[in-house]
Amino acid sequence: MAAPATAVQRLFEACREVFTGAGPGAVPPPAGVERIKSVLDSITAADVCLTSNMSYFRRVDAHGTPKITYLHLYKCEAFSIGIFCLPSRGVIPLHNHPGMTVFSKLLFGAMHIKSYDWAAAQQDTPDVQLQGPRLAKVKVDGILTAPHETLVLYPEDGGNMHCFTAQNACAVLDVLGPPYDDGSGRHCQYYNVSSSAISVGKIFT
């Protein structure tokens, strides 16, 4: 008799079927999104053998910027799976996910999330070509505490640009479909925030 599939195995199989079936760069159908979300909602830190007292979550320098560790689990052309490990006060700066559907599951800890969507459609202009200020709207601005349901963002909605700040030791299981790829125009762009508008390197709300 075959051994039961592990939680990570179930996640891999769901992602493979959903993202491969959706086609390159396509947003998965609602049923596919719900399937991946449901698997992620059931995953715990124990399923990926993580605890908050591991070295990934320790601050080496109390006065310096905490180091963030990314644990790579799987990557192909259609999707990637990995875990971000953030010590207390660790920050993932404001960045985007061009043409991507992203699932984020907080495995443990408390984290402040601030996310944005563009106030107006980009008219198929890649972020890498964006010049000058541009308005964005806040989608989420608050603290999430585990256990919490999986967050999902889309190419044009759901908070495609976001920033994470760990309130204490945090682990975030991420699924990106498709993953970043400069050759396909999916370049990770970082932003700064001001009180008036947004541009390449700057997000304004």
Please say if the pLDDT value at position 122 is more than 70: no
Please say if the pLDDT value at position 71 is more than 80: yes
Kindly state the average pLDDT of the residues 91-95.
94
pLDDT band at residue 171 using 50, 70 and 90 as cut-offs: very high
pLDDT band at residue 135 using 50, 70 and 90 as cut-offs: confident
Kindly state the average pLDDT of the residues 27-46.
96
Q: How far is CA 48 from CA 8, 18, 68, 72, 165, in A?
A: 7, 22, 17, 12, 22
List CB contacts of 170: < 8 A, sequence separation 6 or more. Answer: 57, 84, 85, 86, 90, 106, 107, 108, 109, 110, 111, 146, 164
In the chain, the largest separation of any two C-alpha atoms, in whole Å, equals 62
Give the residue among 66, 79, 72 at the shortest CA–CA distance from 48: 72
Domains of the chain are 7-122+132-184 (2.60.120.10)
Kindly state the average pLDDT of the residues 139-159.
94
Q: What is the pLDDT of residue 128?
A: 44
pTM: 0.87
> What average pLDDT is seen over the chain?
86
pLDDT band at residue 185 using 50, 70 and 90 as cut-offs: confident
Q: What is the pLDDT of residue 196?
A: 53
| Selection from 12-26, 58-72, 169-183 with the highest mean pLDDT | 169-183
Give the residue among 88, 70, 95 at the shortest CA–CA distance from 163: 95
Contacts of 47-52 with CB under 8 Å at 24 or more apart are 47/6, 47/7, 47/8, 48/7, 48/8, 48/83, 48/107, 48/171, 48/173, 50/83, 50/85, 50/107, 50/108, 50/171, 52/108, 52/109, 52/168, 52/169, 52/171
Q: What is the pLDDT of residue 111?
A: 97
Q: Which residue has the higher pLDDT, 122 or 101?
A: 101
Please say if the pLDDT value at position 205 is more than 60: no
Bridge partners of 153, per DSSP, are: 102
Torsion of CA 13, 5, 11, 78, to 10 degrees: -30
Torsion of CA 86, 91, 95, 97, to 10 degrees: 20
Mutual orientation of helices 7-22 and 30-42 as an angle, nearest 10°? 170
Reading the block at residue 40, the tokens are 């992620």
Please say if the pLDDT value at position 174 is more than 50: yes
